[in-house]
A and B are shown apart, each in its own frame.
Chain A
């Protein structure tokens, strides 16, 4: 065992040196070897120190079962933090670990340098641990079932946060102090990336993606607002006056006509946390924690293809440079092949990301005549360009800018859809395929909802609107989720969406879900 650690140390030394030579720039690294059940726990929770909830147990059970039946394997898990934690699966062979280490270093580089992670590295490991501790206290104080039921509700809308840095400056600064003393430096890292056989990656990703929350205070829903203060209008027709002002709302408007919220608010969790009337302090804390953690995980979710592609690109190059025996070479080739295995039903982020980075490098190294003339690309700048890309893009922009016609053809990408009982390929035109993929990645694949009115019907009801962009919502799920929102908001909640081209309003009043066409 000591020998093993010794060999591993040597390998890390060599690989780290090689990575630096290539220009990778990562945080200090903590490598930790741990047994399968621990690594799968981390995979399910997205972070070792996260709070407890049965949904994590469910994910863990699924992942662990897959592992037990040898259907998938996570070789490694890396946490976005400074220093960067990487967990290696006990029982990995030395060569497996070498590849994993090379892979992980590139993730570290990505975490440190990609602009979307700018606000994430920091104390998330600790702050998640703190939150977990507080949640346990709440359980003791208010009862496990109560806390669990509340968490169920919060988790059902956890992806509705606003990770975009708002242009209206200062949003961060005037964020209300609700975040229990956790400064904006929350940081961290998370789980997703299992290198590994195709399913492994997917499983891990789903685990953290689906259930995570966290992050920094990037999101800016205009923090301070006069909570719900709003004068009653004098006559029922006064709202007609508002028509004159449509589209020209200005802050200097009269108090009476002010909308609440003034602008549609994407950060549903923040809105509920600040404005739901009947929540207790501990409940607001729970919402705040889930929101922070979602914000923390968000950059990982929105750069998955890039991040994995980047790591795959580099583990290939690093492994090519270090000395391997014949046997090791074959084992490495096998493993790498497993990682980039494609599927007819989903995109493999490792493979897609790798191919795009390679294509960018090539196009900037040897630009075509046209590219030289049109864009003034001198050639030979491939490496420089991919470093720039890894710094500035996220998956949406990465694909939109760099998924070329040639790549779509080479990779044989397509869109498919359910028709009757069959799942059929419906689109091969490269631009439509590209746009289809990008659309699926927008808002990390979640429906985009906004709070339209926090005082609907002047009865303090919550009116949400789904910004419809062509994809209908799952009505069954919608009707099951609305009651959760009601549990948080404490009053009747509405959701406007579009079905069959018509606007529909779903309403849950505490007893049943109603539906009416608008």
Chain B
């Protein structure tokens, strides 16, 4: 070497700086999402996603703010293929997908806010962090699963019947690959992998949640969207947290009926509103299938409150009946664009039972507070 240059190759495996700051950024991102959960919870891209995958959550707080020019008003330079002329359209901004119901996002330049990528599960964890089923009581447990066996560990020793074939073969292939041989030749004792199990004792109370939604004509797409956002997270929450929760879906307009989960979330309907119908159905289902002595019962009803006025009295009575058997009855009213004075909510003011909770949701960001209100395990209501 002439001394004018050096070539080297060091061990960089301990160089973690970028990784550490990346983690810090990720942490900050999570914090930011947490602070904005109210907005994030009703983000369309999440509700519409089929779960499990990565969703993009816009967060503005992690933008690196500085004084800069307005990109939209500035001229930029580009290079054509030789045939460009004045007036050529290079690109089109996507139509503002926030459209309509979002709150005054129009003023902000939509150019490059930061979109955090996060899995629905991660997000769900944050949302559910301090949620729980309130007033849960130990009940007789006809369906309580016995000690469950969960295969969740892999070991090198075990009983023959529990050999994990796939992993064993993989090990063998890997070992061959180390030696530069291709494929699977022979399995040595060292390759063997066994599944082992853990016994888990789940001492859990049975719970049934009755999800009731108004699907009448007055519930516009926006109101339905809010109600569905709520139920979307509720269902996810119940499924991840409680092994033994059954959810019954009830939709109603003038008449009520039990639906499948898919129908509940997708089907539209029209017609007038008679809320008593759904309460009656709920009571019937409880009577026939879920004995309050065996089950913790929760009923949640979402409506725009635009109920048939003559029906209100009956509703009050039925809600009181429900309160007799349920641990909690929640009523969520979505305030539509019109303001009604004689909504169901005002009728419910007469009911004073700590187990009856009413929330009103004005816009998308109200979904998260509603979740928190309904599912705060701290609520200690005497029963």
Q: How far is the CB of A507 from chain B (nearest CB, A)?
A: 15
A423: interface (CB < 8 Å): yes
B5 near A37 with CB under 8 A, answer no
Q: Are A447 and B67 also in contact (CB < 8 A) when A5-B9, A29-B4, A422-B91 are?
A: yes
Query: What is the CA–CA distance of A28 and B108 in the complex, to the nearest angstrom?
Result: 50
Check B76 for interface membership: any CB of A closer than 8 A: yes
Q: Determine which of A29, A40, A471 lies in contact with B5 in the assembled complex, contact meaning CB atoms within 8 Å.
A: A29
- How distant is the Cα of A53 from the Cα of B64 in the complex, in angstroms? 12
- Distance in Å from the Cβ of A276 to the closest Cβ of chain B? 18
Instruction: State in angstroms the CA–CA spacing of A16 and B26 once bound together.
Output: 43
* CA gap between A82 and B232 in the complex, in Å: 60
1/0 per position for A419-437, CB-CB distance to B under 8 A?
0011111111000010011
Chain B nearest Cβ from A86, distance in angstroms: 9
Whose C-beta in chain A lies nearest to the C-beta of B73? A472
A518 at interface by CB-CB < 8 Å = no
With beta carbons under 8 angstroms apart, the residue of B3, B20, B63, B77 that contacts A52 is: B20
Q: How far is the CB of B210 from the nearest CB of chain A, in Å?
A: 44
Interface 1/0 per residue, B1-35 and A, CB below 8 Å: 11111111110100101111111111010000000
What string of 1s and 0s marks CB contacts (under 8 Å) between A1-36 and chain B?
Answer: 100010011001100100000000000111111110
With A446-B68, A477-B65 as known contacts, state yes or no: A423 contacts B5, CB within 8 Å. Answer: no
Is B352 an interface position by the 8 A CB rule? no
CB pair A471 B6 closer than 8 Å: no
Quick check: B25 and A33 within 8 Å, CB to CB? no
Cβ of B70 under 8 Å from chain A: yes
Give the residues in chain A near B85, CB-CB below 8 Å.
425, 428
**Residue in B2, B28, B66 whose beta carbon sits within 8 Å of that of A477 in the complex:** B66
Let me know if A343 and B78 touch, CB within 8 A. Answer: yes
On whether the beta carbons of B79 and A58 are closer than 8 Å, the reply is: no
Q: Are A476 and B74 in contact (CB under 8 A)?
A: no
Which of the 9-residue segments A328-336, A359-367, A410-418 touches chain B? Answer: A410-418
Task: Report the bound CA distance from A45 to B15 in whole Å.
Answer: 13
B188 CB within 8 Å of chain A = no
Is residue B199 contacting chain A, with contact meaning CB distance below 8 A? no
Known: A32-B8, A57-B22, A60-B22. A426 touches B86 (CB 8 A): yes
User: Is B93 positioned at the interface, with any CB of A under 8 Å from its CB?
Assistant: yes
A417: nearest residue on chain B (CB-CB)? B75
B89 and A423 contact, CB distance less than 8 A = yes
What CA separation (Å) do A478 and B70 show in the bound complex? 10
Q: Are B70 and A475 in contact (CB under 8 A)?
A: yes
With A34-B12, A421-B92, A484-B65: A414-B80 Cβ-Cβ less than 8 Å: yes
- Inter-subunit contact B25/A61 (CB<8 Å): yes
B104 at interface by CB-CB < 8 Å: no
CA distance A90 to B13 in the complex (A): 13
Interchain CB contact under 8 A, A56 and B18: yes
Question: Cα distance A60–B87 when bound, in Å?
Answer: 37
A residues less than 8 Å from B65 (CB atoms):
156, 477, 480-481, 484
Whether, in the assembled complex, B72 has its beta carbon less than 8 Å from a beta carbon of chain A, the answer is yes
Partner of A417, one of B24, B63, B74: B74
> Count of chain B residues with Cβ under 8 Å from any Cβ of A?
60
A128 within 8 A of B: no
Given A30-B8, A58-B25, A477-B67, A344-B20 contact (CB < 8 Å): no
The docked-state distance in angstroms from the alpha carbon of A471 to that of B72 is 10
Instruction: Please measure, in the bound complex, the distance between the C-alpha atom of A484 and the C-alpha atom of B5, giving whole angstroms.
Output: 45
Q: Which of chain B's residues 84-107 have a Cβ closer than 8 Å to chain A? A: 84-93, 95, 107
What's the Cα separation between A466 and B87 when bound, in Å?
Answer: 32
Q: Once the chains bind, are B9 and A347 in contact (CB under 8 Å)?
A: no
Q: How many Cβ-Cβ contacts under 8 Å join chain A to chain B?
A: 233
Within 8 A of A (CB), among B138-175: none
Report the bound CA distance from A5 to B26 in whole Å.
38
A303 within 8 A of B: no
Judged by a CB distance under 8 angstroms, whether A440 is at the interface is: yes
A411 to B23, CA, bound (A): 43
- Among B23, B64, B93, the one with the most A-chain Cβ atoms within 10 Å of its Cβ is B64
**Is A16 in contact with B67, judged by CB distance below 8 angstroms?**
no
A55 is an interface residue with CB less than 8 A from chain B: yes
Contacts of A157 in B (CB 8 A): 66-67
B333 CB, nearest partner CB in chain A, Å = 33
Kindly state the separation between the CA atoms of A34 and B18 in the bound complex, as whole angstroms: 14
Determine the distance from Cα of A347 to Cα of B79 in the docked complex, in whole angstroms.
6
> Which of B4, B9, B77, B107 is A476 in contact with, Cβ under 8 Å?
B107
- B77–A415 CB distance below 8 A: yes
Is A69's beta carbon under 8 Å from chain B? no
Chain B positions within 8 Å of A425 at CB level: 78, 80, 84-88, 90
A424 close to B78 (CB less than 8 A): no
The verdict on B83 contacting chain A, using a C-beta distance below 8 Å, is yes
B109 within 8 A of A: yes
Q: Please, how many angstroms separate the alpha-carbon atoms of A347 and B75 in the complex?
A: 13
Kindly state whether residue A345 has any CB partner on chain B within 8 Å.
yes
Q: Is the CB of A412 within 8 A of B82?
A: yes
Assuming A29-B5, A415-B76, is B18 touching A44 (CB within 8 A)? yes
Q: What is the CA–CA distance of A380 and B71 in the complex, to the nearest angstrom?
A: 44
User: Shortest beta-carbon distance, A248 to chain B, in Å?
Assistant: 31
Distance of A29 Cα from B83 Cα, bound (Å)? 44
B6 CB to nearest A CB, Å: 5
Seed contacts A28-B6, A41-B17, A54-B21; 20 additional CB < 8 Å A-B pairs = A9-B7, A16-B2, A29-B5, A31-B8, A56-B21, A60-B18, A61-B22, A155-B66, A344-B90, A345-B90, A411-B79, A412-B79, A412-B83, A414-B79, A414-B84, A421-B93, A425-B85, A428-B84, A446-B67, A495-B67
Task: Give 20 CB contacts A-B under 8 Å.
Answer: A16-B5, A29-B4, A53-B21, A54-B24, A55-B64, A58-B25, A60-B18, A157-B67, A211-B64, A345-B76, A412-B79, A414-B80, A415-B75, A416-B75, A417-B74, A425-B78, A425-B85, A440-B76, A440-B77, A471-B73
Pick the 6 closest A-B CB pairs, nearest first. Answer: A57-B21, A41-B18, A57-B25, A412-B80, A57-B22, A480-B65
> Which B positions have Cβ atoms within 8 angstroms of A?
1-10, 12, 15, 17-26, 28, 62-93, 95, 107-109, 114
